[in-house]
Amino acid sequence: MSVPDVSILIVHTFELRLIRQTLRGLRRAAPQLQIEVLVIDNNPGAGLVDMLKAEFPEVRYFAKRNQGFGSAMNVGLQHALGKYILIFNPDIIISPGALEKMFAYMEAHPQVGTLGPKLLNADGSLQYSCYRYHEPLVPILRRTPLGRLPWGQKTIERFLMQDVDHAQTLEVDWIMGSAMFTRAAALAKTGCFDERFFMYFEDTDLCWRMWEAGYTVIYYPEAVMVHYHRRASADGSIFQQLRSPLTWRHIQSAYKFFRKHSGQKNPREFPQLSRTSETLT
């Protein structure tokens, strides 16, 4: 059996309808590459396996107890056979040619460890999906009225890289984990997702480790996908958010990330000073 060009990994928890839509979209895109699709099911009782058997028998299926996004992705990474790995959300539609463009770019640039496509909202507007590393106040500013103050707006705009041209290929600190086209050989050096992040910041941390390992992280707008994304942890008023389990997941992950990398310089800006991250307790 030949090695697939790309392994596409999707985690399911409550997105049965979206996964059907995404897999149909992948068929319509008809990539001219050898691909395999792996779905890791965090919610085996929802009936996903029956749908896959009936409609997408080519998909490789793995069931597990829900221990978070990163933990589920790591199951897929352990079984993926591709030269490249597309870490992929079940709410994205791949545009025709997008996979081929990302594959060609990575083949031509062996120093790139992870690449992110341009993501569009459902209305066709740009979705900011590449970032600078968080300042500690960023999660707070994005959820409170403080973010509407001039200094708060400026901090958020810098985090979202709104000061740069998103029509250009960019070297960035990190990319959203919704669509990460990643070199399998790079993952062999960095390790997989840190499972201490149940949800949120696992993508930020993985890109940090890509930079530490000597790889670059690239935003590549020539490849375009539509992401039906909703920031569920930021829905509603501040009081509603504080009652949301997703908000507390985000806060916990932010704390773990800042603690894990406390005292370390940005490994993209200071590669000579990057060091192995300390163990969390």
Tell me: the pLDDT tens digits for 45-101? Answer: 999 999 999 999 999 999 999 999 999 999 999 999 999 999 999 999 999 999 999
Contact yes or no for 215/113 (Cβ under 8 A):
yes
Q: What is the pLDDT of residue 136?
A: 83
Span 15-48, pLDDT tens digits? 888 999 999 999 999 999 999 999 999 999 999 9
Answering whether pTM is above 0.85, one says: yes
Domain span at residue 157 reads 6-229
Residue 264 covered by a domain: no
Span 181-240, pLDDT tens digits? 999 999 999 999 999 999 899 999 999 999 999 999 999 999 999 998 764 444 554 545
Residue 253 covered by a domain: no
Q: In 3-state terms, what secondary structure has residue 94?
A: strand
Residue 141 covered by a domain: yes
Span 116-129, pLDDT tens digits? 999 999 999 999 99
| Residue 89 token pair | 């959300």
Burial class (CB in 10 A: 0-12, 13-18, 19+), 150: exposed
Q: What are phi and psi of 208, to 5 degrees?
A: -55, -45
Residue 272 covered by a domain: no
Is the pLDDT assigned to residue 5 strictly greater than 70? yes
Residue 138 covered by a domain: yes
Residue listed under structure tokens 């707008």: 221
End-to-end CA distance of the chain: 43
Residue 186 covered by a domain: yes
Residue 258 covered by a domain: no
CATH number reported for the structural domain that contains residue 113 in this entry? 3.90.550.10
Is the pLDDT assigned to residue 274 strictly greater than 80? no
CA 4 vs. chain centroid, Å, equals 21
Question: 87-117 burial, b for 16+ CB within 10 Å, e for fewer?
Answer: bbbbbbbbbebbbbbbbebbeeeeebbbbbb
- DSSP labels, 124-141: S-EE--EEPPPPTTHHHH
d(CA 72, CA 111) in angstroms, rounded, equals: 27
Burial class (CB in 10 A: 0-12, 13-18, 19+), 72: buried
Instruction: Tell me how long the chain is.
Output: 281
Q: In 3-state terms, what secondary structure has residue 97?
A: coil
Q: In whole angstroms, how far apart are CA 64 and each of 39, 54, 99, 149, 260?
A: 11, 21, 28, 44, 27
Residue 244 covered by a domain: no
Give the residue among 161, 32, 180, 177 at the shortest CA–CA distance from 106.
180
What domain count does the chain have?
Answer: 1
